[in-house]
């Protein structure tokens, strides 16, 4: 590439704009899109992620600890998130029958439905990018390589 990409040149960035600048720009776009899609369903994207983890868990049930592990979150904010999702009627919390000291979070039918609608909207947006199957595979491989390098452990 002889000069800065069009978007970088439009912002007055140098021709040697690096990977971090590209990722930051991508993050800004994705956050806007993700927020728009989830807001249309009356949920914040961060709360949707919790709902999605529970929905994808066996029997639509997970412990708060497992949700924190999957999303790399601390337990501190999880209670507030679960309170919001419970108030909305999208999850329930109950004692774990195997260990009553633990709590199990379960998706309600309306929680499964809202998570499924958001998931479908996310896939529709992804399809709207117009990437060929080969481009999708290439992009997925590149992102996976970065994730492998960044993943803890």
Per-domain residue ranges for the chain?
18-117
CB 63 within 8 A of CB 104: yes
CB 53 within 8 A of CB 62: yes
pLDDT of residue 4: 63
Q: Centre a 10 Å sphere on the Cβ of residue 103 and count the other Cβ atoms it contains.
A: 15
Give the residue ranges of the chain where pLDDT is below 50: 1-2
As a whole number of angstroms, the distance between CA 43 and CA 47 comes to 7
Query: Looking at domain 18-117, which CATH architecture does it have?
Result: Orthogonal Bundle (1.10)
pTM of the full structure: 0.83
CB 90 within 8 A of CB 48: no
Place of tokens 């909305």: 88
pLDDT of residue 93: 96
Write the CB contacts of 65 (distance below 8 Å, at least 6 apart in sequence).
Answer: 75, 102
Alpha helices in the chain (DSSP H): 6-10, 19-39, 45-56, 64-71, 75-87, 109-128, 133-150
Place of tokens 């960035």: 13
CB 31 within 8 A of CB 43: no
pLDDT of residue 1: 43
Q: What is the pLDDT of residues 76-107, one digit of tens each?
A: 889 999 999 999 999 999 998 888 888 999 99
As a whole number of angstroms, the distance between CA 4 and CA 15 comes to 4
CB 49 within 8 A of CB 56: no
């Amino acid at each position: 590439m002889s000069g800065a990409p069009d978007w970088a040149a439009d912002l007055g960035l140098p021709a040697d704009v690096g990977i971090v600048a590209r990722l930051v720009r991508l993050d800004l776009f994705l956050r806007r899109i993700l927020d728009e899609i989830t807001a249309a369903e009356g949920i914040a994207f961060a709360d949707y992620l919790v709902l999605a983890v529970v929905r994808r868990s066996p029997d639509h049930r997970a412990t708060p600890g497992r949700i924190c592990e999957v999303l790399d979150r601390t337990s501190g904010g999880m209670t507030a998130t679960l309170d919001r999702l419970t108030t909305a009627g999208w999850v329930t919390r109950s004692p774990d029958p195997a260990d009553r000291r633990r709590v199990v979070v379960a998706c309600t039918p309306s929680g499964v439905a809202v998570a499924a609608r958001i998931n479908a909207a996310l896939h529709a947006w992804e399809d709207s990018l117009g990437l060929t199957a080969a481009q999708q595979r290439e992009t997925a491989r590149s992102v996976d390589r970065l994730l492998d390098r960044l993943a803890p452990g």
